[in-house]
Amino acid sequence: MPLPAARTPLSELTPTIALGPLDGRYRGAVAPLVDHLSEAALNRARLHVEVEWLLHLVTHEVVPGSGSLSEAEAAALRALVPDFDAAAIEELRQIEAETVHDVKAVEYYLRRRLTTVVGEDRGASLGELVHFACTSEDVNNTSYAVMVQGAVTQVWLPRATALVGQLAGMARDLAEVPLLAHTHGQPATPTTMGKELAVLAHRLGRQLARVAGAAYLGKLNGATGTYGAHVVAVPDADWQHVSRSFVEHLGLTWNPLTTQIESHDWQAELYADVARFNRILHNLATDMWTYISMGYFAQVRGQGTVGSSTMPHKVNPIRFENAEANLEVSTALLDVLAATLVTSRLQRDLTDSSMQRNIGTALGHSLLALDNVSRGLAGLDAVPEAMARDLDANWEVLAEPIQSVMRALAARGVEGMTNPYERLKELTRGRRIGQVELVAFVRGLGLPPEEEERLVALTPATYTGIAAELVDHLEGA
C-alpha cells in the first residue's frame, strides 16, 4: 500500500529538516566544516577578501588621491569578518534577492558598513574602491582557496593525522603478535598484526604528507586575466605586483597566468590526494572488518549498543561499514571535482561555480569516515589466541623456509638437496599437515645437523622474519 496522499508536508516543518545526512543524522561529526565550507562561510570569505582588497588599495595608495583609513577604521572593517553572524546572513540574503547576484550582494553589504565606519561623504568616495576592477571570480577564487585551506589544515588534516597516529600506536602495540597472512585468500607466510597495520599507517602517512604540502593558488587579474580595467583606470600602477602582494597577503600562492577563472588545477591535485587517502582508508576498513570476522579482534562490549534487532549475541562492525560507505561517496565526489574543475570553456563558463559548492559534502563524508574508523579502532581488543590457533592449524606454510634452506644448501654443493620446491609441493599442496608430519619430513632430508635442528625448531608462530622490527619505520607517525 503506498503512502497516503494527504500527509503532513515535512518540507514545511520548523526547524527545517535536512535533506542530506551530513546536515541531519551525522551533523555532530562534520559540524566543524560548516565554519569553512558552507554557503554562509563562502559569503564570509568573500567579505574577508573584499575588505582586504579595499584596505590593500588604500594602504598602498594604488589609486592616487583616493583617501586613507585610520588604524581604527581599518580595524572596524576587519572586525566585520569575525563578527559575521545570523543577522549578517539574513541581510545578505535580502540584498541578493534584489541583486540576484551573490558577489554583488557582498559588495553592497560592505559599502553599507563602510559608510557606517567612515561616514556618508567618505563612504561614497571610498566605496568606489570596494570590488574595484574585480570580476566576481577574483573574489570567488581567493575565497574558495582561503576556505578550502582552512577546512583542510584546521579540520580534516588534524583528524586524519590523529587517526594515523592511533593506527601507528596499535601497530607498535601488536608488533610482535604473530599473524597467519592470507594472500589470494589462502594461508601464506606468517607476519605480525603490528606489521600489517604499520603498512597501512605508512601508506596513509605518505598521503597526509602530500596533503600537508598542498599549494592553494589565487589570482586577481580581471575579467579575462589581462588586468585590462586595472591598467586603463590607473596606468601607472604595477598591477602584477599589486595582485601578487594581495594574493600572498591572503596566505595563498599567486597564479600569474589565468583566464577569467583561476584554473583550479591545485584543487584537482588536492582532491586527488584526499581521494587516494580515502581509498587506502577504505582498504583499512575492509581489512579490519575481515580480521574481526576471523576472530582476530574482539569488539569491546558493554557500550549499550544494539548489534542486531533480532540476534542478541551480535556486535556488528558497523563503524567500519559506515566508513566504507562514506569513503565511497566522498571519493566519488572528489573524483568528479578533480576531473571537472580543470576544464573551463574558452575564457569562462559557470560549471565550476555549481561544482565547487559540493566541496564541503566531499570532505564531510571523508571526515565522517575518519570519525567512524577512529571509533571502530578504539572499540577493538586483539585476540592473540585466535591468531595462534590459525597459525597452529597451518604448518604447511613452513614449506617455504624448508625449500629455501634446501636451495641454499644445493647452491653450496650439498648433495641430496635437489628439487626442493617439487618435494615440498608434493608434501603440502592440497592438504593440511601438522607438526609431526613436517618434522618427520625434515628429519628424512639428510640436512646438515645444525640446519636440521633449526628447521625442526621452527613453528608457524616463529616464522615471521623481521616483521616486528619493520614497525620501527613508523617512528614519528
User: Which strand (E) or helix (H) includes residue 253?
Assistant: strand 253-254
Q: 184, 309, 313, 354: which is the annotated catalytic residue? A: 184
Query: How far apart (Å, rounded) are the C-alpha atoms in residues 37 and 32?
Result: 9
- Cβ pair 391, 461 in contact under 8 A: yes
CA distances from 276 to 5, 279, 325, 331, 366 (A): 46, 5, 15, 8, 11
Max CA distance (Å), the chain: 105
Cell numbers for 361, please give them. Answer: 559534502
User: Which strand (E) or helix (H) includes residue 328?
Assistant: helix 318-340
Known catalytic residue: 202? no
- Cβ pair 179, 385 in contact under 8 A: no
Cell numbers for 167, please give them. Answer: 593506527
- Cβ pair 364, 315 in contact under 8 A: no
Q: 68, 70, 245, 308: which is the annotated catalytic residue? A: 308
Query: How far apart (Å, rounded) are the C-alpha atoms in residues 23 and 151?
Result: 17
Strand 380-382 with 186-192, pairing: unpaired
Known catalytic residue: 309? no
Which residue in 298, 429, 370 sits closest to 30, CA to CA? 370
- For 262, which DSSP code? -
Task: Give the residue numbers annotated as catalytic, written as ranges.
Answer: 184, 308
